[in-house]
Amino acid sequence: MTNQYDAIVIGAGHNGMICSALLAKTGKKVLVLEANDQVGGAAITRKFADDFSVSACAHLLFQLQPDVIKDLGIEPDYSKKSMETIVLTEDGNHIRYQGKNISGVNEEDKKNYIEFHNRMIRFSDLLKTYLNKRPPRLGTKNTKDLMTLAKLGFDIRRMGKTEMREFLRLIGMNIYDELDERFVNPYLKGALSTDAVLGTHLGPRSPNTILTYLYRLAGLHGDVSSIQGGMGGLMNQIRSIAEGSGVEIKTNSKVNEISVSNGAVTGVQTEGGEKYLSSTVVSNADPKQTMMNLVGPKHLEIRFTHRIDNIRMRGNASKLHFALNALPKIPGFEDLDYQQRILIAPSEHYVEKAFNHAKYGESSVRPVLEITFPSTTDSSLAPEGKHVMSIVAQYAPYHLKGGWSNESKQQFSDAVKSVLKSHMVNIDQCIISEELLTPADIEQEFNITGGHWHHGEFTLDQFMFVRPVAGSSQYEMPINGLFLCGAGSHPGGGISGACGRNAAQVILQRD
């Protein structure tokens, strides 16, 4: 039969593509079915205005795991490698940091920052080891799991008494308290808070925002880069690697059912009615979408369904794209500064206050912004002399009171523009066209429940042993032959590829 495969991957997000390529490398016949017309999931480049293109969701690369790069032989074509982060101040004396280098703060803060950064790097390195392998199961007799657990305990202990205590003290803590204790400069505290909460439904005072910060650093130590041609450029390369390994990819093929018989998968069916058969189905879709919609609760256990249903995945980050006829004026900026990563988060209180609105179903009046001008390093995105501004703006809750409408979208994009204006006085004259993607739009366009990039909040109760839910953290779902390979599984979201790679390893070990 022609529509019989060794494995079917649902969704051509970066994890799905990486997983499919690794499976196909072992000689398996692998099919990838993608709902949209191009591969990449939330890592694509697409047009948003005449002659202007942008990375439509994820726009910066800072987590792609070295193991993934090595295994697949990816050679990322950076348009800008190792970006500096510039925290905008009103007077133009901006704070800049990259790795352990920092400027624009006093000597005391500088010293503390280096100490803070070094410690965070040490802790994130510990985390990194565990991101790139199957999470161990608690209460198990499996030798491999027991070894991993023992190693985890040993690794923590090996840091020494002081560091171990610090690790255990910090891991569940909020970043606000830690920053407040260490630093004086509000802009620095605002920026580090932002690094911890980007893409989450958390404020700097929410528990475990140190963990989310560590997760950001794990792998590349927070080294931020952009890719030539946008995220789509990276995905095109991964696509050719996958196809070179023999993966078959069908776009515009939205899977609407995972077929189950007698507790085991038999294949999938698309909206168009095509059926593809396989005893191994790997879903890059989020866990809720996969289990509740594609499989359906009637095939699942009650407590398991309950857990899946309760996964917290309320997206709170929105994406704004502006087509510009010129770069806006920013006080104290030189030409090369526009190539960096720019934050507007004047203090830790500012970030927390922005989050306050989201708690009650309102969008932030003064949002937190992460800004890039990708066209300054990549001429393929905008016509000569013109530019693209790509912004992640928080917070814009998925469950907005009254729902997202044209009015509420306008209100939020006005709020963003008003924040921009306090640093870019001529921004209004620069804008030709704009696009706002709220979490509701992100859900629609990228098929992510709740529009949450991480496919589930990254918190201690949805982390490692219990990601996506307790009892199924090892990629294997309670339906025989069904696996998850997306960000909803361990370790989590971001363009890291670890989920896809770990899932592929689990599937291959099973054979």
Q: Which C-beta is closer to another protein: that of 305 or that of 408? A: 305
Q: Nearest CA to 212 among 36, 473, 483, 459? A: 459
DSSP 259-293: EEETTEEEEEEETT--EEE-S-EEE-S-HHIIIII
When asked if residue 303 is in the footprint of another protein (CB under 8 A), the reply is yes
CB 14 within 8 A of CB 61: no
How crowded is residue 92: how many other Cβ atoms within 10 Å of its Cβ? 11
Using alpha carbons, list the distances in angstroms from residue 88 to 123, 183, 343, 368. 28, 17, 6, 12
Judged by CB under 8 A, the stretch of 143-151, 301-309, 392-400, 448-456 that binds another protein is 301-309
Q: For residue 452, which of 405, 498, 486 has the smallest C-alpha distance?
A: 486
Which of 70, 298 has the CB closer to another protein? 298
User: Of 292, 431, 464, 470, which one interacts with another protein (CB under 8 A)?
Assistant: 292
- The nearer residue to another protein, 194 or 462, going by C-beta atoms, is 462
**How many Å apart are CA 398 and CA 62, to the nearest integer?**
25
Helix (H), strand (E), coil (C) string for 402-440: CCCCHHHHHHHHHHHHHHHHCCCCCHHHHEEEEEEECHH
One residue of 261, 405, 418, 426 binding another protein per CB under 8 A? 261
List 304, 314, 380, 386, residue binding another protein (CB under 8 A): 304
Least Å from the CB of residue 295 to another protein: 10
Closest separation in Å from C-beta 128 to another protein? 33
Query: Given the complex with another protein, which of 262 and 509 has the nearer CB atom?
Result: 262
User: Binding-site residue total for another protein (CB under 8 A)?
Assistant: 17
Determine if 305 is a binding residue for another protein (CB under 8 A): yes
Minimum gap (Å) between residue 150 Cβ and another protein: 23
256 binds another protein (CB under 8 A): no
- Does 144 contact another protein by CB under 8 A? no
Nearest distance in Å: CB 300, another protein: 8
Residue 315 makes CB contacts below 8 A (sequence gap 6+) with: 201, 397, 398, 439, 442, 443, 448, 450, 451, 452, 453
Residue from the set 262, 384, 402, 407 that interacts with another protein by CB under 8 A: 262
Q: Which amino acid is at 85?
A: T
Q: Judged by CB under 8 A, which stretch of 238-246, 271-279, 304-312, 495-503 contacts another protein?
A: 304-312
Total length of the chain: 511
Q: Measured between alpha carbons, how far is 33 from 39 in angstroms, rounded to an integer?
A: 9
Angle at CA 496, nearest 5°, toward 202 and 490? 65
Residue from the set 66, 153, 244, 263 that interacts with another protein by CB under 8 A: 263
- Region near another protein per CB under 8 A, out of 48-56, 179-187, 255-263, 331-339: 255-263
Region 306-345 residues binding another protein, contact defined as CB under 8 A: 306, 309
Q: Which is nearer to another protein, 207 or 297 (CB)?
A: 297
Q: How far is the CB of 298 from another protein (least distance, A)?
A: 5
Among 302, 384, 403, 406, binds another protein (CB under 8 A): 302
Closest CB to another protein among 108 and 309?
Answer: 309
Query: Binding residue for another protein (CB under 8 A) from 100, 299, 353, 386?
Result: 299
Describe the chain by its helix, strand, coil percentages, rounded to 5: 40, 20, 40
- What residues from 455 to 494 belong to the interface with another protein (CB under 8 A)? 478
Point out which residues pair with 372 in neighbouring strands. Answer: 390
Scanning 102-110, 125-133, 295-303, 401-409 for contacts with another protein by CB under 8 A, the matching segment is: 295-303
Q: Which stretch binds another protein (CB under 8 A): 177-185, 223-231, 297-305, 459-467?
A: 297-305
The helix or strand, by DSSP H or E, that contains position 59, with its residue range, turns out to be: none
266 touches another protein (CB under 8 A):
no
* Residue 351: both structure tokens together: 């970030």
Q: How far is the CB of 306 from another protein (least distance, A)?
A: 4
* Single-letter residue type at 111: K
Among 281, 280, 277, residue whose Cα is nearest residue 3 = 277
Contacts of 500 (CB under 8 A, 6+ apart): 14, 15, 16, 17, 18, 19, 22, 68, 284, 485, 486
Identify which of residues 262 and 406 has a Cβ nearer to another protein in the complex.
262
User: Minimum Å distance from CB 308 to another protein?
Assistant: 9
Q: What sign results for the dihedral spanned by CA atoms 232, 236, 239, 245?
A: negative
Structure tokens at 333: 């900026």
Q: Which residues bind another protein (CB under 8 A)?
A: 261-263, 292, 296-306, 309, 478
